[in-house]
Amino acid sequence: MQKKVTKIGVMTSGGDSPGMNAAIRAVVRTSIYNGLEVYGIMRGYAGLIDNDIFQMDSRSVANIIQRGGTILKTSRSEDFMTPEGRQVAYDNLKEKGINGLVIIGGDGSFKGAQVFSNEFDIPCIGLPGTIDKDIAGTDKTIGFDTAVNTAVEAIDKIRDTMDAHDRLFIVEVMGRDAGYIALHSGIATGAENIVIPETKTDIEELIASLSEKEKRKKLVNLVVVAEGGEFGDANALDAIIRKRIPNAETRVCILGHIQRGGSPSCEDRLIASHMGYYAVESLILGRYNVMVGVVNNKICYTPLDKAVKEKQKIGLEWMKIVKILAS
């Protein structure tokens, strides 16, 4: 590894999340404050390979902290998965003298950073930018707070029409491999049942629970489903419930990509700004190939190889709480 980082590249990779722009802003302005040059890399690893790289200054990140999405764009790159693609990316960085990278993204982005840093002499720092909150080594990820509040706001509105019509609503939220959005939004909106990938869903127990509520005339029921669970397809789950409980009037709502967009919450802006600052500080101090995270409200550093191997786990007590509060 090179001992001194003088030029930093920053990119966003994988799925976008609210707060990425705040993180970019923090990286750019902290770099400039410390006398470092900073370069924006468009479209993540694809931009590295295409040499879509430009120098940034303080004005490059003016008036972006409140914007969702990412001004640097994002994508997934199959070419970067090949040694040939990574060699091209490295050559482009060397040409510009960039000797440090900050990657804002999820575990897939970190895997790419880990491989790249092992193959070449480019130190990397990861910032956890994902609405799924599924990365080990941090209690918070950039974008989760905004996404879950978007889901809560939508479900609250759905509850109004549920109550007006005595309906059972199945709401599908994002979470291909992680059920945090479903769990948090479900508890916050009083869901009777929550289906997440981390726990095996007992469909008979779910049907029995809904049937019992129907018998005691509790006709307004909410089931929140994470898209990646065993029964993560809300329409398929709806078909099962309709067949088993024919008297239930059911409706399905899939929130989809609305959860990714929108102005980031105060929480996400603060997290992103904090992490962006410490990402640059880590490169200056020679703390390489780590993910900057927050544990117990303190900044911590997790080696990238550990961050990509482990998943943030949901405690089983949360599901017990769901059952008690929904009874």
CA distance 54 to 60: 10
Give the residue ranges of DSSP H helices in the chain. Answer: 20-33, 44-50, 83-96, 107-119, 144-165, 180-188, 203-215, 234-244, 266-285, 304-309, 317-325
Contacts of 191 (CB under 8 A, 6+ apart): 155, 185, 222, 223, 224, 322, 326
Structure tokens at 6: 């003088």
Partners of 214 in beta bridges = none
Q: Which of 275, 242, 18 is nearest to 130 (CA)?
A: 18
Q: Residues 194, 164: contact at Cβ < 8 Å? A: no
CA distance 36 to 38: 6
Choice among 107, 132, 134, 238 that is catalytic:
132
Cα dist. 228→11, 175, 181, 182, 190 in Å? 27, 6, 12, 11, 21
Please identify which residue in the block is written with the tokens 């003088």: 6
Q: Based on the residue annotation, tell me whether 132 is a catalytic residue of this protein.
A: yes
Structure tokens at 226: 């994470």
* φ/ψ (deg, to 5) at 131: -75, -15
In terms of C-beta density within 10 A (0-12 exposed, 13-18 middle, 19 or more buried), how is residue 121 classed? Answer: exposed
- Active site positions, annotated: 132
